[in-house]
Amino acid sequence: MKAFILDRYGSSDRVRFGEMPEPEVRENDVLVQVHAAGVNLLDSKIRDGEFKLILPYRLPLILGNDVAGVVVRAGSRVKNFKPGDKVYARPDKDRIGTFAEFIGMNEDDVALIPVKLTMEEAASIPLVGLTAWQALVEMANLQKDQKVLIHAGAGGVGTFAIQLAKHLGAVVATTTSTANIDFVRLLGADVVIDYKNYDFETILDDYDVVLNSLDEVTLKKSLQILKPGGKLISISGPPDPDFAEKHGSPWILKPATRVLSYRIRRAAKRHNVSYSFLFMRASGDQLREITSLIDSGIIHPVIDRVYPFEKTEEAMAYVEKGRAKGKAVVKIR
């Protein structure tokens, strides 16, 4: 099958378009013919080797973390899917590879796609949807009338998280560029900070939750706006010891995460708030919850651009620039 393959960690010139064997289908797996794949900054970070300690992949590796397609084969113990089903998923972190014609996944990680969505729209959802769900519902337990700041509101995670937070009844603030102010307001943001002209930490105060996807400077500033007992959740790091414990990471990673996150955890303690790192996990059950919100018209996918399969590297380069409004997607079939 055709795929985009990483042979060695490094820059974009380490990725090639080539042939790989079709994935094996285990007894609890479905083999999915890929129709579309979402493109995420995570793909570039994996390519560059930023997650080598957390995700020790064996190379060569097929990149890609979002998929929508059709089941073509089901393992002997699969109960919930059959050939012909239209599905979407964020594959388990150990079995990524959606920039390909086929992918094998455990059925527990898969869900039927929302009824009204195209394959491209469905492929834009899993990683950002699960990230927002696990941050705001699972970790933050966001409640009605609580205040949440979602950084980078026009990005892939931001566009989904704003809609989800509004559905949960929260007061939503976000940071964005001047050009996207009206756009994030349409998504539901109550307070919009133009980061090019204003410092969010001088405007916002007494917030319950911050969802950070930006740099270390933004992470530290975010502590200043939280009320005592507030929660700072970051998807851009640094990883903390709780993350290493929950993910059964190699023993060497546990002391490493303690060192890497020491400063931000100490600063959070001084502010009487908590800090947590989120590396989202695959979950078909949570995707089904997300599907119901999409089918009910509560959440809508946001796609910036759709690229043909052979332009996957171009799509990754576009996402790396940080200017995508919502998601970029590769159309594979």
Query: What distance in Å separates the CA atoms of residue 280 and residue 31, rounded to the nearest whole number?
Result: 23
What pLDDT shows up at residue 249? 59
Compute the distance between CA of residue 302 and CA of residue 2 in angstroms, rounded to an integer: 27
pLDDT digits (tens, 9 = 90+) for 129-170: 999 999 999 999 999 999 999 999 999 999 999 999 999 999
> Smallest Cα–Cα separation from 3: which of 327, 330, 324?
330
Q: Single out the residue of 274, 275, 273, 280 nearest to residue 246, CA to CA.
A: 280
Domain annotation for the chain: domains and CATH numbers: 2-124+301-331 (3.90.180.10), 127-277 (3.40.50.720)
What is the rounded distance in angstroms from the CA atom of residue 256 to the CA atom of residue 333? 42
Residue 255 is given by DSSP the state H
**pLDDT over threshold 90, residue 53:** no
Distance (Å, rounded) from C-alpha 64 to C-alpha 286? 20
Residues composing the chain: 333
Q: How confident is the model at residue 251 (pLDDT cuts 50, 70, 90)?
A: low
Cα distances (Å, whole numbers) of residue 200 to 41, 43, 237: 24, 29, 20
Two structure tokens written together for 167: 């559905």
The first and second tokens of residue 326, run together, are 């919502």
pLDDT at 56 over 90: no
> What is the model's pLDDT at position 291?
98
Per-residue pLDDT tens over the stretch 276-295:
999 999 999 999 999 999 99
Tell me what pLDDT residue 217 has.
Answer: 96
pLDDT number for residue 252: 64
Q: What is the pLDDT of residue 244?
A: 73
Which of helix, strand or coil describes residue 328?
strand
pLDDT band of residue 206 (cuts 50, 70, 90) is very high
Q: In the block, which residue shows the tokens 């020491």?
A: 262
Q: Which of 2, 28, 47, 38 is nearest to 287 (CA)?
A: 38
Cα first-last separation, the chain: 13
Please give the pLDDT value at position 248.
62
Round to whole Å and give the CA distance between 304 and 318: 10
Question: In which band, very low, low, confident or very high, does the pLDDT at 250 lie, cut at 50, 70 and 90?
Answer: low
To the nearest whole number, what is the mean pLDDT of the chain?
A: 95
pLDDT bin (cut points 50, 70, 90) of residue 255 is: confident
Give whole-number Cα distances, 62 to 49, 89, 101, 110, 149, in Å. 14, 16, 11, 19, 35
CA quadruple 5, 8, 13, 19: dihedral, nearest 10: -20
